[in-house]
Structure 1
Amino acid sequence: MLALTGEGGPRLRRYLAALDLDLGRYRRALPLLTDRRSQIAVAGRIGSHVWQYLERETACRVRLFAEERGMEAEGRAAEGKARSLLGFFLEQAGLQRFFGALAELGDAAFIDTRVLLAHFRVDAARSDRFLSDL
């Protein structure tokens, strides 16, 4: 997100510029937040403070799927006990149908992929988990 805003000190900005990140999808999604006709889907470990912020600070409609808050702290992810409504739907529908349905629910989707990784019991390396955020 810092790469989009240009914020941060000069060294951080140079570092982010050197990464040559593809920010196109984020640049396309950001205007949706201020468009009353737009709808976004947000899924994952979402606290009430995030929901309140989205309600106050965005003009778009928001579909929220909050699940598995505390899965790391309570050990559910490590024990293979984390479960996800989106994960169950993905299992039943398959990739194509899942993403087709998601496209019908909003103009953009912001998904906490770690909940899905935990649901499917994928023990991803730290670097892979961070890449899934992009």
Structure 2
Amino acid sequence: MPREEYLIGHKRRKSADEESKEDEDDLLQRAGNFISASTSLPGGILKMKNCRPASAERTTTAQISSVRLHPGAQVVMLSGVDNAILLCQGDGKTNPKIQSIYLGKFPIFKACFSANGEDLLATSVHSKALCR
């Protein structure tokens, strides 16, 4: 519910931008620990290892603009300004290619999976269009 402010006998509702600014100001006025413990990562030291690059199946030297992980599967998506999207299985060993998608005259600025992982969304460097 919006906060109210009194101005010379009148009530004026604050806009969402004003409320957001006030919330930011409140946050900056407090001190303390704002970071809580993770519920999904175990405590302690995380083990890391080198894996084969996910882009090994990518035969171009064009700049990669986006790297995204699928929300529910071991799939890595790479996209670039060469108009291509590469989907590969992110197994860390061979990372085999699942599919390549070429979008003619659509150099990809950013690409991502939809929230449910069923669709791909891409925006271009030179176009205001959204490709789905």
**TM-score for both structures, normalised by structure 1:** 0.21
Please, what TM-score do these two structures have when normalized by structure 2? 0.22
Greater share of residues in helix: 1
Kindly indicate whether structure 1 or structure 2 has the higher relative contact order, using CA contacts under 8 Å at least 6 residues apart: 1
Larger radius of gyration: 2
Larger strand fraction of residues: 2
